[in-house]
Structure 1
Amino acid sequence: MRRVWTVGRTLIVGVLLVAACAGSGVRSEVSPVTSDGRGPLTLATGRDLTGYLSDVLADWNRTHPAERVDLVELPEAADEVHAQMQDSLREGSRRFDVLNIDVAWTAEFAGNGWIAPVDRSRLPVGRLLPSVLDTATYEGRLYAVPYVTNAGLLFYRKDILDREHLSPPRTWRELADQASALSDKYGMQGYAGQFLPYEGLTVNVTEAIQSAGGSLTDHDGRVTVTSPEAREALDFLTSGLREGWIPQEALTYKEENSRLAFEEGKLLFLRNWPYVHALASAPGSAVAGKFAAVPLPGLEGPGTGVLGGSNLAVNARSAHPRSAADLMTYLLSEDVQRRVLTEGGLPPVWAPLYEDPALIRRYPYLPALAESVRTARVRLKSVDYEQVSLAVAAVTHGALAQRTTPAAALDRLDRELRDILASRHP
């Protein structure tokens, strides 16, 4: 059973109201708790692929010399970031004050008492995309501050589709037909996502199931992966690999592998996150100026993505929760949110930025992204989500690799998910 840390006393903090645990006997790797909750901070995040966050924090440090932030970049892979954060928090460590966490981890971290609640009334709710607050809640309470949102997009070779007088695919059938015919004609690979067995595959499979009208669980928490819709979704992906318009290499792809394959001109179609746009448009990219992005296709029309992104949370054991709250306010400000997009290439959570004509000219995918975020669904909110994700990825990868049938894989997944979710909610 997981250790649950009890939140001891509530501190009223500057701009945000954060409940923080004072706790005794916890190993301290930073300065001791101060009476006013202020002092230097450590921000933990996954690897910053564009390097923008260091500059954003440097601006904070220049104006807050007594509350300087040290940035700790963990590995690129989400699973490794999760493991390192989880280990530190489970031990009751104060090593990290603020954590930039995947939206899928909010429920786990909150349910275990590792992160402190946040006062919703202090957030600029009216300026945020409507869906992002849901990713930061657990059991009706806000435990994090939305920072970056995300939804998968279909990147495609616009130059080739224009040459063939084709519109980008809106359905799976159109995607399969174009990927198969054009890959042969142009000597390229057809379509890829992230199909290595990790969280990326869980997202890809969940997107496919949702885009066929299904789900992993229903509103009451009952497992629904043996539905006809889920079967059709897994059939679609496995048939792509069997028929060859999804290359076998895709079974080893994470985000960066697949991004590089597209950027090097090997792929016609790529499912990935919006950060790809900035990197694939940079000097030296073989596809700069030759691609565009649209919402993901689905069974009979535009698909339904998985809401991604990251939230900022305060370690419940932080020595300086008031400074941590102020830092989160700064990172949620409109100026920083604009830099999240323009310097980081990441989707901000401020809704007005998606309607800014100058930004749309610079980032023409913004309208498609806004629509994708609007229709995307939040991942399963469970303290056991990490186990759920591991099961989905491991079992469905067997079907994609043709080691088992989609029907057998989904039957096995049904049993495993029931066992995982029943262990805590009998």
Structure 2
Amino acid sequence: MTDKVSGKRRRTFMKTVAGSSLALLAGCGGGGGSSDDGSLTYVYPGYFSEDASDLVPMFEKQSDSISVESQQTPSDASSTREYYVNQFISGASSFDVGNMDVIWPAEFAGNGWAAEVSDPEGHTDNMLPTPVDSVTVDGTMYGMPIHTDANALYYRTDLLEDAGYDSPPETYMELVNMAQDIKQQSDQDLNGYIWQGGSNEGLTIMWLNWLWGMGGSIRQDGNLVVNSEEGIAALQHAVDLIHEYNVTPESIPASSTDQNRQTFQQGNTIFMRNWPYAVALMNEDGSAVKDKFEVAPMPKAEGHPDANNSCLGGWNLFINANANKPEAAQQFANYMASMEAQKNMALEHSRLPVRKELYSDEYYEQAPHLETFANIVDQTSARPATPNYSTFSEIVYTNCNAALVQDKSPEQALNDAQEEIDSEVNNA
């Protein structure tokens, strides 16, 4: 069990529940709270707000007797996890069910924070195996998969076409050269390539994208190793995108995933790395890029055309071990795995469903992104499965961010990270 938080990385875990942890939340629905009969409290990150606005009423309609009070955390996973950890440490039961990132099940189960989830209706029999495996710890399910994820390259079809390009870049330097050329040809002030560079989980994923695309790995002899030749080269490439090639704006080290989406959607960006959810939002009426973008696999380093360098993502529902309404929470989890809920997420919100039935020609015609991302999912790698993953990631993104703002060289940043990882993760 890994219920301790190491001294160096304790950060803000012990904030009081009445203070900053509750300040993370914004109430989004009425139900009367989890202490009332027939109601439960559901917490989800901001990225899921559009989905929840559909799914919560759909569940309430079919359940008849259960109402849901929805509460929203910020969009980024790190802030959502911080809220949960504050709740768990205090033993609070202020929520019953919540969204759980694909990297958290081992930690949440190992610490006794997540309750066992059952599947009496056999929904998982019809799911992709990887999402189910991600919530299964020592043979027990501690979450219900609701959508999977794979990050990809978004690009402006109109800008590429105007500049004489008929396909997106396939390698790192093709992207750099193409972005520089399009920027030079355009009379607009364009961003070349935006990606998540803020000091949070998204930057760890970006670094892994580049590392994997160079043929690198972070597993060596059972340990996590970040300061390999490929690891340093990956971070150097990120720094060069900003400070050498001038295709990534200097504001990127303070950016988040949805900030990137909003920037791209304003119409002044050529390339962006993002997740499937952005498709539906950017194709809404009023979007400056509606019908002007497409999605492609992540570029890879020269000489590594078969690298699996998209990051496998996804989210699950988990039941708080201290839930006031565990049975209602279980019903909600089962509903989110149903075809009705899965179709809504896939067709209305461009999520990648976990149910296999939705990956078929019938649904590809309704939502072409499903077919596009089905191919990208085949080019994914998973983040390391360890109960100490959050500690590992914080060490990585903190040091990588220092390199992006040139407080450290890439080599020094990853050497410093490795020293902490050896102390707090490999030898924990």
Structure 2 CA distance, aligned partners of 1:160 and 1:198? 31
1:401 aligns with 2:405: yes
> What do the CA deviations read for 1:366-405 (whole angstroms, capped 9, x no partner)?
2231122233223222222222111111101122222322
CA deviation after TM superposition for structure 1 residue 3, in Å: 6.6
Corresponding position of 2:371: 367
2:312 to 301, 307, 315: 307
Corresponding position of 2:202: 200
Corresponding position of 1:53: 52
CA deviation after TM superposition for structure 1 residue 120, in Å: 6.6
2:399–2:417 contact (8 Å) kept in structure 1: yes
Corresponding position of 1:289: 291
- Of all paired residues, the percent bearing the same amino acid is 30
Moved more, 370-379 or 151-160: 370-379
Structure 1 CA distance, aligned partners of 2:166 and 2:372? 18
2:196–2:257 contact (8 Å) kept in structure 1: yes
1:316-395 matched pairs, under 5 angstroms: 316-357=321-362, 359-395=363-399
CA deviation after TM superposition for structure 1 residue 133, in Å: 1.6
1:131 aligns with 2:130: yes
Corresponding position of 1:15: none
Q: Which amino acid aligns with 1:414?
A: Q
1:50–1:345 contact (8 Å) kept in structure 2: no
Structure 1 CA distance, aligned partners of 2:4 and 2:323? 18
Q: Please, what is the CA RMSD of the aligned residues?
A: 2.3
Q: 1:403 is paired with a residue of what secondary structure? A: coil
Corresponding position of 2:419: 415
2:277–2:350 contact (8 Å) kept in structure 1: yes
Moved more, 360-369 or 146-155: 360-369
Q: Which amino acid aligns with 2:229?
A: P
Corresponding position of 2:273: 271
Structure 2 stretches lacking a partner, 5+ long: 6-32
Q: Which amino acid aligns with 2:351?
A: L
Q: Which amino acid aligns with 2:287?
A: S
Corresponding position of 1:225: 226
Structure 2 CA distance, aligned partners of 1:409 and 1:203? 16
Q: How many residues align?
A: 393
1:114–1:315 contact (8 Å) kept in structure 2: yes
Corresponding position of 1:20: none
Q: Which amino acid aligns with 1:380?
A: P
Structure 2 CA distance, aligned partners of 1:230 and 1:45? 33
Q: Which amino acid aligns with 2:45?
A: G
Q: Which amino acid aligns with 1:379?
A: R
Structure 2 CA distance, aligned partners of 1:326 and 1:148? 17
Q: 1:296 is paired with a residue of what secondary structure? A: coil
Corresponding position of 2:23: none
1:50–1:343 contact (8 Å) kept in structure 2: no
Q: 1:197 is paired with a residue of what secondary structure? A: coil
TM-score by length of 2: 0.85
CA deviation after TM superposition for structure 1 residue 121, in Å: 7.9
Q: 1:107 is paired with a residue of what secondary structure? A: helix
Structure 1 CA distance, aligned partners of 2:426 and 2:165? 52
CA deviation after TM superposition for structure 1 residue 46, in Å: 1.0
Corresponding position of 1:240: 241
Q: 2:311 is paired with a residue of what secondary structure? A: coil
1:155–1:269 contact (8 Å) kept in structure 2: yes
